[in-house]
Amino acid sequence: MKKAVSGLAMTSAVVNMLALTGSFFMLQVYDRVIPGHSLPTLVGLGIIAGTLYAFQGVLELIRSLLLLRVGLSVDERFGKSVYESLVLLPSRVQTPGDGLQSVRDLDTVRGFLSGPGPVALFDIPWMPFYLGLCFLFHVWVGVTALAGALMLVALTIMAEQKSRRPAKEAAQLASERFALAEATRRNSEAVLAMGFGHQLGRMWSDVNCRFLDNHLRSTSFTISLSTLSKVLRMMLQSAVLAVGATLVIRQEATGGVMIASSILLSRALAPVELAIGQWKGFVRARDSWSRLVQLSQIMPTGLPEIMLPRPADVLKVENLHLAAPGSQNAIVRGIAFELRAGEALGVIGPSASGKSCLARGLVGLWQPIAGAVRLDGAAVSQWDPQLLGGHIGYLSQDVSLFGGSIAQNIARLDPDASSEKVIAAAKAAGVYDMVVQFHDGFDTIIGERGSALSGGQRQRIGLARALYGDPFLVVLDEPNSNLDADGEAALSRAILGIRARGGIAVVVAHRPSALAAVDKVLVLANGRAKSFGPKDEVLRRTPQSEPVASARLMVPGEETAQ
């Protein structure tokens, strides 16, 4: 990008030198051609001016293309960080609005760099050069031009001071609008079924009215300044002509100086006028750039250089404390246990006891504020997240599928996934027979967020995705909340399959059937471990009032038979 900026500076220098063509052409016409009545001189000057104008046009085109390249290079520099932030930041910090501000910031910066705004930034430094030429024509021409330039610069400073706060408010209100619109779209079924669309409509109207009011005020201010700058420039050009005419009458300057000065002043003030007209876009781009730089600074850098071996032995949790992203108030406190290969743990406890938080911590979604989660002795933070993901299977309460085929979702969108691995995962999750019943089988398109599937079907496809590639650690958060008896039996068989191949399963449960295939149980209460050990032993000590106290070790399908 530095080379492109250097190229822009050099191109702008040549363009601004060529911009003198009009002034000196008029100077020669009025001072040489007309007094000498020389048509050949006029033709020669016209050819030279036309050639210079052609060069200027080519360089203007090159400059615009360079700006486009700079915009693309900014996208290349920040694009990866912006995308990774969509994945990583929600689990590490609180993201306001709809979480897509970084994407809009990148679009804003790229769009600004591809427009006319940056041209003014490269041309403004040449204004003193043009003003100096005005002084060379005559001191009073220079003084008039300098006075006008100072007035336009004052308008630019006013635009900067008056636009800072509205620009920040606009970004915040735009984020609120997008967040509310996305939440409405995502929950449209509930809105329609329970008839609270009017309430959401009032909320939308309130946010939208505030956004439009901010837009009206900021845009009106920008338009007013832009109009004022245009009027001022026209007045200044007339003033320079008047000063030039006075000098001609006094025989202190020629007619060519009078006309050339007017053209030169117009060129000197043009970038300032353009900057004022583009100031709103400049402020937005500047704020967006600032947020992108901040984003790049808070994103984790430097992946581990050593590639750790595939975990195969033990999961160890050491004095684990977990807090919600952006908070230091621990939800899970002092959890410690150890699981060996072939074991499965059921995590039970009342609502809000920290079960789901623990599940997020085990797979690395939430970073510990104290303690550690270790796989074969290595803390989860020591792994490259991309590589670690291949050793982990995770099924959250809210199963999120992607718009694509069933096979693509099971394969975690891996374009190189083999059919054998996809089918193996489907069979391990007990969904193979269900999938092949669809008309297109594994190629069935499931729609956005799996909208073409039922809740139970989404959960079972999510389980198959968690089992894809035979991960060592599989964490399932209430995996049977939408399952029928057949689905629960398949879940139990899947957990037994994980244990049989030497993996580790952790199952967060409310319903007893989810614990059928586990051999150990952890009871949580208020974020702390209340009890941990073999399932039968722990459940015997657990009061019958606990929702899963009646769970006992069962073979798959036993609960269904009962």
**Tokens (6 digits) for 80:** 């990866």
Domain that holds residue 507: 310-386+474-482+503-562
- Residue 49 domain flag: yes
Q: If we measure between CA atoms, which residue out of 258, 243, 272 comes closest to residue 151?
A: 272
Q: Contact, 218 vs 284, CB < 8 A?
A: no
Structure tokens at 233: 């420039």
Question: Which residues, other chains included, contact 169 with Cβ-Cβ below 8 Å and sequence gap of 6+?
Answer: 214
482-530 per-position pLDDT tens digit = 788 888 888 899 999 999 999 999 999 877 777 888 999 999 988 899 8
Tally of structural domains, the chain: 3
Nearest in space to 30 (alpha carbons), one of 237, 244, 234: 244
* CA neighbor of 83 nearest in space, from 292, 360, 383, 396: 292
Residue ranges of alpha helices (H) inside 468-507 are 485-500
Mean pLDDT of all residues belonging to the chain: 83
Residues 380 and 396 both lie in one domain: no
Alpha-carbon distance 211 to 547, whole Å?
Answer: 48
**25-47 pLDDT, tens digit each:** 888 888 888 888 888 889 998 99
Are 419 and 334 members of one domain? no
Quick check: is 494 in a domain?
no
Answer yes or no: do 29 and 114 share one domain. Answer: yes
User: pLDDT tens digit string along 162-189?
Assistant: 777 777 777 778 778 877 887 787 777 6
The CATH number linked to 516 is: 3.40.50.300
pLDDT tens for each residue of 84-127: 777 766 666 665 555 677 888 888 888 888 888 888 888 888 88
Q: For residues 366 and 527, is the Cβ–Cβ distance under 8 A?
A: no
Checking if the pLDDT of 421 tops 90, the result is yes
Global pTM value: 0.69
Statement to judge: residues 378 and 418 lie in one domain: no
- Determine, yes or no, domain membership for 305: no
Same domain? 38 vs 97:
yes
Instruction: List the 330-340 sheet strands across, edge first.
Output: 330-340, 314-323, 370-375, 378-379
Instruction: Answer yes or no: do 139 and 36 share one domain.
Output: yes
How does 294-333 read in b/e, with b if 16+ C-beta sit within 10 Å? ebbeebeeeeeeeebeebeebbbbbebbbbeeeeeebbbb
Is the same domain home to 72 and 172? yes
Both tokens assigned to 243: 């000063």
User: Does residue 363 lie within any of the structural domains?
Assistant: yes
- Which among 382, 338, 368, 349 has a CA at the least distance from the CA of 473? 338
Q: Are 70 and 5 in contact (CB under 8 A)?
A: yes
**Quick one: 437 exposed, middle or buried, by C-beta within 10 A (0-12, 13-18, 19+)?**
exposed
Question: Where does a domain end: 277, 298, 319?
Answer: 298
Q: Is 224 exposed, middle or buried (0-12, 13-18, 19+ CB in 10 A)?
A: exposed
**11 neighbors 118 (Cβ within 8 angstroms):** no
Q: Which amino acid is at 287?
A: D
Cβ count near 386 (within 10 Å): 8
User: What's residue 422's pLDDT?
Assistant: 93
- Is 493 within a domain? no
Boundary residue ending a domain (298, 329, 351): 298
Strand partners, 370: 321
DSSP 441: G
35 and 136 assigned to the same domain? yes
Q: Are residues 281 and 184 in the same domain?
A: yes
Q: Are residues 160 and 95 in the same domain?
A: yes
Contact 533, 346 (CB under 8 A): no
> For residue 100, what are the CA distances in angstroms to 10, 85, 104, 350, 355?
37, 9, 7, 34, 29
> What pLDDT is stored for residue 320 in this prediction?
93
Q: Are 466 and 478 in a shared domain?
A: no
Neighbours of 80 (CB within 10 A): 12
Over residues 393-415, mean pLDDT: 88
411 within domain boundaries:
yes
Does residue 544 register a pLDDT over 70?
no
Q: Which residues pair with 348 in a beta bridge?
A: 523
Least trusted range by pLDDT, from 49-53, 100-104, 356-360, 439-443: 100-104
DSSP letter for each residue of 141-162: HHHHHHHHHHHHHHHHHHHHHH
| Alpha-carbon distance values, 234 to 244, 262, 269, 283, 412 (Å) | 15, 10, 10, 26, 63
CATH of the domain at 126: 1.20.1560.10
CA 395 to chain centre: 25
Residue 495 lies in a domain: no
Shared domain for 403 and 466, answered yes or no, is: yes
Report the pLDDT value the prediction gives residue 536, as an integer from 0 to 100.
86
Check residue 358 and give left, alpha or beta (phi > 0: left; psi -120 to 50: alpha): alpha
